[in-house]
Structure 1
Amino acid sequence: MVSDTDRSPGRPIADLVEELLAAEGPLPIVAAGDPVLRRGAEPFEGQLDAPLLDRFLAALRATMHAAPGVGLAAPQVGVPLRIAVIEDPAPVPEEVRSARGRVPQPYRVLVNPSYEAVGEERAAFFEGCLSVPGWQAVVARHARVRLRGLDARGAVSDEEFAGWPARIVQHETDHLDGTLYLDRAEPRSLSTNEAVARWWAQPTPDRAADALGFRLPG
């Protein structure tokens, strides 16, 4: 795993990425407590040339699949750039799909993304993070957002997301601002993965809110 010293400000990010890609297999995912997750990532402005960027994006995607997860931001592998990837086949029962608005999302690259709420509706569900392994908590997020940024080739992207896809892009963009989902979570909902599977596997967190003593929006 790349140390924080190796991510010193004077070191070219391209060298850091080359070092990461030199190892075989998925990239190591850094966990909460690593300073790189709490610093705002710098905008991507060509720090990686096109071939290296393609290799890095492919490694991010492979790491996301291996974890497995539905999104991964560059800071989660120790690279402080405003780049993330998302992809969600949404292999969930229809009841969950309907309650959470979880529909399949194709592979996307988010470069220098930012989001803003569309409307005032918020939705709360259990959420986890590859950088906070073993835990989940209920997070109230905007039900619909407008995401602006660039794609992998530098083309302007301006799109609205709703339901679970909106949650994914908020979660990953937050990573680029040094924000973890725990910062937005209801503390009383914090549960291990095992506890969620045992007690809170319902499509919505209503039962958890009642039993654990916290309020949901609306």
Structure 2
Amino acid sequence: SAPQLGVPLRVFAAELSEERCLRYPPELRREHRVRPFPLRVLVNPALRVLDSRLVVAPEGCASLQGFSAFVPRHWAVHVSGVDENGEPVSWEATGWAARIIQHEMDHLDGILYIDRMDTRTFTNVNWMEFVD
């Protein structure tokens, strides 16, 4: 998102490659519908929740590298705005794509996943490196 880069604009870009999808455990991919999607750029996006069920899954963030926590997110959302060329765009997403959209939308409002996480699950993802 633009705010993560120090740019005060309501813009985010998201992409999930097949290679990145395969880094997730098979069970998580299945349960959370982790599927690849092409690069999408949204300027001045507006979010609408399509399915209010909250699904809890682990999240990390480039703003807090080396940590993760379980975060509740809505299962399905719709986001609309314009792309980098000013053309209207609309995206209806479920599962992991919906989670990514909500995560990025939070950045536009100054919210990080640690503001929504289950604090009991906050962990250093590299903790095993410190154990002998």
Fold match (TM-score > 0.5): yes
Cα deviation 1:98-157 (Å, max 9, x = unaligned) = 112100011111111121211221110010110011110110000000111111111111
Cα deviation for residue 94 of structure 1 reads: 3.8
- More helix per residue: 1 or 2? 1
- More strand per residue: 1 or 2? 2
Instruction: State the alpha-carbon separation in 1 of the partners of residues 5 and 124 from structure 2.
Output: 23
SS at match of 1:152: coil
Cα deviation 1:191-215 (Å, max 9, x = unaligned) = 111259xxxxxxxxxxxxxxxxxxx
TM-score between both structures, scaled by the size of structure 2:
0.87
SS at match of 2:100: helix
Cα deviation 1:22-73 (Å, max 9, x = unaligned) = xxxxxxxxxxxxxxxxxxxxxxxxxxxxxxxxxxxxxxxxxxxxxxxxxxx0
Give the fraction of aligned pairs with identical amino acids, expressed as a percent. 42
**Residue 193 of structure 1, aligned match among 102, 125, 129:** 125
TM-score between both structures, scaled by the size of structure 1:
0.54
| RMSD of aligned alpha carbons | 1.7
Counterpart residue number, 2:58: 126
Q: Which runs of 5+ in 1 are unaligned?
A: 1-72, 197-218
Q: Which runs of 5+ in 2 are unaligned?
A: none
Counterpart residue number, 2:102: 170
Higher relative contact order (CA 8 A, sep 6+): 2
Cα deviation 1:147-193 (Å, max 9, x = unaligned) = 11111111111221100000001111110111111111111110111
Counterpart residue number, 2:85: 153
Larger radius of gyration: 1
The number of equivalent residue pairs is: 125
